[in-house]
Amino acid sequence: MRASAALILLLAGCGGERVVGENRGVTANQIARLSTPEVEIADPQAVVRPQPLKVADFGGAQMPAPDCAFGRNGRMLLAATAGDAIARVNGRLLHFTHSAPMGPSGGFFEDRQVSISVGGTSATAADAGRWPARITVTNRRADAQIELEGVWRCGF
């Protein structure tokens, strides 16, 4: 009788898959449901996608007219002076320091989290002071990067 009662109790305890260890009493399915975020990030590149600068951004950043700027489709995405650079990334206006000299061939700018590299794609200017260029925006914390083609202008 004891053996059959023990067998019944043993079989009753085997009703579902149980995780052994720290998660006692929790099924693997429950763990998977709880650990999977309900809302997926719609655009993982949002943390590196530059948005166009507005006239108000220059006043808010106390930046005079830029010495050099990167633009795409007629919109300015990065503005740089000898001592400052600004760009709007993921809805936030960011200030960048120069990590390399800035000039007609491009420049490298960074803050604690985001870096922006601008490099000319042709040594020949399309117009006076305008060169075809590529901008690379990298978010080191989010491990995300985006590259865009556009125009680098210096000497407005």
Cβ neighbours, 10 Å, residue 88: 18
* Rounded CA separation 30/79 (Å): 50
Instruction: Please determine, for residue 28, whether its predicted confidence score (pLDDT) is greater than 90.
Output: no
pLDDT at position 152 is: 94
In the predicted model, what is the mean pLDDT of residues 58-82? 89
Q: Is 6 helix (H, G, I), strand (E, B) or coil?
A: helix
pLDDT at position 13 is: 54
In the predicted model, what is the mean pLDDT of residues 37-46? 66
Instruction: With cut-offs at 50, 70 and 90, classify the pLDDT of residue 7.
Output: very low
* Rounded CA separation 97/80 (Å): 9
Instruction: Please determine, for residue 2, whether its predicted confidence score (pLDDT) is greater than 90.
Output: no
Q: Which two tokens stand for residue 98?
A: 């120069």
Q: Is 47 helix (H, G, I), strand (E, B) or coil?
A: helix
Q: Is 43 helix (H, G, I), strand (E, B) or coil?
A: coil
Q: What is the pLDDT of residues 119-154, one digit of tens each?
A: 988 767 667 788 899 999 999 888 899 999 999 999
pLDDT at position 19 is: 45
- Of 101, 105, 69, 92, the closest CA to residue 139 belongs to 92
Least confident of 104-108, 112-116, 121-125, 136-140: 121-125
**H/E stretch holding 30:** helix 28-35
Instruction: Give the ranges where 55-150 is alpha helix by DSSP (H).
Output: 55-60
For 64: left if phi > 0, alpha if psi spans -120 to 50, otherwise beta; the answer is beta
Instruction: Please determine, for residue 117, whether its predicted confidence score (pLDDT) is greater than 70.
Output: yes
Q: Considering the chain, what is the average pLDDT of its residues?
A: 81
Q: Which two tokens stand for residue 130?
A: 């305008």
Q: Which two tokens stand for residue 51?
A: 């948005």
CB 75 within 8 A of CB 50: no
Instruction: Please determine, for residue 6, whether its predicted confidence score (pLDDT) is greater than 80.
Output: no
CB 104 within 8 A of CB 131: yes
Q: Which two tokens stand for residue 49?
A: 């996608």
